[in-house]
Structure 1
C-alpha cells in the first residue's frame, strides 16, 4: 500500500537508489522463496517493519534474519509471552551470536522497533558473546529501562569502552569537582555524556564561564542536565539570550 511504501522509504531511504533489477528484485525473490515467506501479506508486513533487510547482501543472512523477524512478530501476537528457540543455528556463528543477543534483549522487554534496528545494524554491538553478556548485565544493573533508546545508547557505550577509557572519562569530570557517583548519575540521565573528550568538556566550560556562569553553576547544570555539555557555543548563547529576554 502507499502507506507501507512511505514507511519503507522513511526508515530506509537508500531503497530509492537501489537497482530494481540487480538489487531489490533478487532480494525480494530470496525473501519470498528462500526466506520462507508463506504469503504476500506476510512478506509486506516484515519488509515494512524491517525495510533495512533489503540492504543485506548475503542470501543466507537475509533468510536467517527474515525467519527470525517472522518468529518474533508471530510470538508477540500471542497473548502469552513466548520464548524463542534457535538451536538449529551453527554454534559460534555470527548470525547465532546476533540472534541470541537480540533474543536476550527481547526477553528483557525491548520493543520490536529497537530490536529490528539492532538486528539490521552494521554495528558489532550485538555480534559478540561474553563481552555483550557482561555489558548487558552492567546496563541492566544501572537501572536503564530496556524499552528505551537510552538503554541502547548506554549498552553501546559500555560495550565500546574499555575499563581504561571509562576511568579516563570519569577523571575528566572528577577534575571539575564531580564525584564518581555524580558521573554515573549524569550517565543514567544521558549516556552520551561520557563520549566527550577532555578538550570538548573544557571548551564547554569556557563557553559557560564566558557567559558569566561560575564553575559551580556549570557543574550544577551538568549534573541536572548533562546534555548541555554537547551544546555548541552558538546554541549556548541563543538559549541564554532567550532566558534573559
Structure 2
C-alpha cells in the first residue's frame, strides 16, 4: 500500500518544486498607530510579572525544569494559582500520575486556564460513562491532551475513540498495520497516521495532524499525493517542518499554490526565493495576499527600504505571520533598552529572527551583556545573533570564564570582543580561552567554571 509514495512516476508539477534547494523608498517615522514607549514599558513590566509567576508556579507545582517552564510561559500566562490549582486537583482526582500531568501541561499548557468544573470535569465524566477505564482515560488524555480543548461531547467522543484505535493498532499490528480495512473516514485516518508513524514521524506530530482542523490525514488519494510531494521535496519526517509542509500541501491545490507564488513574484521575489522560504517555514504559504502586504508595509514603517524588507522575508519568512502590533512591540522593546531606531533597523537586517524573540528574552540577554559584562550596546548591534543564543548553554558559561580571566589579570585587553567570545563554537572558545594556558591547574579551574551548572 502507498507504494507510489516511494516509487512510481514523478508528477509534472513536482518538477518545479524540486528546485527548492536552489535557490520603495525611505519612509517617514512610525505612524500614530504605534503605541508610545512609556506604554510599552508598562506592558513589558506587566508581561514580565506574569511570566515570572507562571515560571515559579510551574516549577513549584509540577517540578518542571526552569528552562522548560520559561518556554511554557511564552505560551500561557497565569495570573494566580487558583484556576491552575483547580485543574491539577481535578486531574489528580481522575488518577493521572505526576508524570502524566507534567506531560499534559507541557504539551497543552492552555489547559491550566480552562474552567476545571464547567469545562474539563464534564468531558472527563462523559468519557467515563462511555466505558473508558481509568487506565485508558489517563493514557489517551496524556497522549493527546488537546482533546479536552475540543467543544461538544460528540467531538470529544469521536477524537477519543479514534486516538484509542490508533494507539491499540500501533501496539498490536506493528508492521502489518497496512492490513487495516479501507473505506470509512475513520479507517482512513488510522491507516494514514500509521503510515506516517512507519516513516518515522514522532507521535507528538502524528496526533497534532489527527486533531488538526485542516484534516491533513483524511482520505486516501489526496493524502497519498500530498505525502508523495512532501517526501520528494526532501523534508525530514522526524521534524515539525515535515508536518507543516504536509498540512500546507494537503490544504492547497496546485493552482492555489501557483497563485500564492505569483503574489510573491509581483512583490519582487523570484520563484526560487519563494521555495527556499517554503523550505525554511512551510506554513508561510498559508498567509493571504492582504497579510503579506500588511507585513511588508509595517516593516517599511520601521525604517526598512523595500529591498531590505524582501531580504528580511527571505531570511525569516515566519515574520509574515506577525501582527503589526507584534512588530511594533518588538521595536519598542529595543528602543526601551536604549537602541535607536536606526540601530533597530540594522539589527533586523542582520538578524531578522529578532522580530520573533520575546521581550523577556531580549531584555534578559541585553541587560546581562551590557550591564553585567560591560560590553557597549553597539556590540549587540554589530553581533545581533547573540540574542538568539541560549543563556544557560552558551552566554553565561562563556562569560563566567571571561570574568575569571579578567579577575586574574590574564586577558590583555579590558574585555575581548563579544563576537570573539560568543559567536565561535564551543571547541574554538575552549581553545582560545581555556586550553591555551601553560598552567594546567588553571586550565582545570577554568574548565570547571565553564561546565559548572551548564545545561547540555
Give the TM-score of the pair, scaled to structure 2.
0.44
Question: C-alpha root-mean-square deviation of aligned residues, in Å?
Answer: 3.2
- CA–CA distance in structure 2, aligned partners of residues 42 and 108 of structure 1: 26
Q: 2:246 aligns with which of 155, 165, 183?
A: 155
- What are the within-5 Å matches in structure 2 for residues 168-187 of structure 1? 168-187=259-278
Cα pair 1:31 1:63 within 8 Å, conserved: no
Q: 1:48 aligns with which of 142, 145, 149?
A: 142
Cα pair 2:140 2:160 within 8 Å, conserved: no
Matched, 1:66 2:164: yes
Structure of higher CA gyration radius: 2
Matched, 1:109 2:200: yes
Cα pair 1:30 1:63 within 8 Å, conserved: no
Cα pair 1:84 1:103 within 8 Å, conserved: no
Change (3 A) 1:195 1:23: closer
- CA–CA distance in structure 2, aligned partners of residues 204 and 146 of structure 1: 31
Change (3 A) 1:222 1:4: same
Change (3 A) 1:51 1:214: closer
Change (3 A) 1:15 1:226: same
- What are the within-5 Å matches in structure 2 for residues 131-170 of structure 1? 131-170=222-261
Deviation at 1:173, TM superposition (A): 0.8
Change (3 A) 1:88 1:235: closer
Deviations along 1:108-136, one digit per CA (max 9) or x if unpaired, are 11111111233344542211210111111
Q: Secondary structure at the match of 1:85?
A: helix
Deviation at 1:82, TM superposition (A): 3.7
Cα pair 2:226 2:246 within 8 Å, conserved: yes
Q: Secondary structure at the match of 2:167?
A: helix
Deviation at 1:185, TM superposition (A): 0.6
Q: Which moved more, 1:11-20 or 1:91-100?
A: 11-20
Matched, 1:128 2:224: no
Q: Could you say which residue in structure 2 is the equivalent of 1:83?
A: 175
What are the ranges of 5 or more consecutive residues in structure 1 without an aligned counterpart? 76-80
- CA–CA distance in structure 1, aligned partners of residues 212 and 290 of structure 2: 30
- CA–CA distance in structure 2, aligned partners of residues 8 and 170 of structure 1: 39
Deviations along 1:10-65, one digit per CA (max 9) or x if unpaired, are 63836933475x75335235454xxxx7xx55653333223456767386874454
- CA–CA distance in structure 1, aligned partners of residues 131 and 237 of structure 2: 30
What are the ranges of 5 or more consecutive residues in structure 2 without an aligned counterpart? 1-96, 345-456
Deviation at 1:235, TM superposition (A): 3.4
Matched, 1:97 2:176: no
- CA–CA distance in structure 1, aligned partners of residues 298 and 218 of structure 2: 40
Give the TM-score of the pair, scaled to structure 1.
0.77
Cα pair 1:69 1:116 within 8 Å, conserved: no
- CA–CA distance in structure 1, aligned partners of residues 159 and 268 of structure 2: 49
Q: Which has the higher contact order (CA 8 A, sep 6+)?
A: 2
Cα pair 1:47 1:53 within 8 Å, conserved: yes
Cα pair 2:264 2:274 within 8 Å, conserved: yes
Cα pair 2:177 2:191 within 8 Å, conserved: no
Q: How many residues align?
A: 231
Deviation at 1:226, TM superposition (A): 1.0
- What are the within-5 Å matches in structure 2 for residues 15-54 of structure 1? 16=116, 17-18=118-119, 20=121, 23-28=123-128, 30=130, 32=132, 41=135, 44-52=138-146
Q: Secondary structure at the match of 2:183?
A: coil
Matched, 1:57 2:154: yes
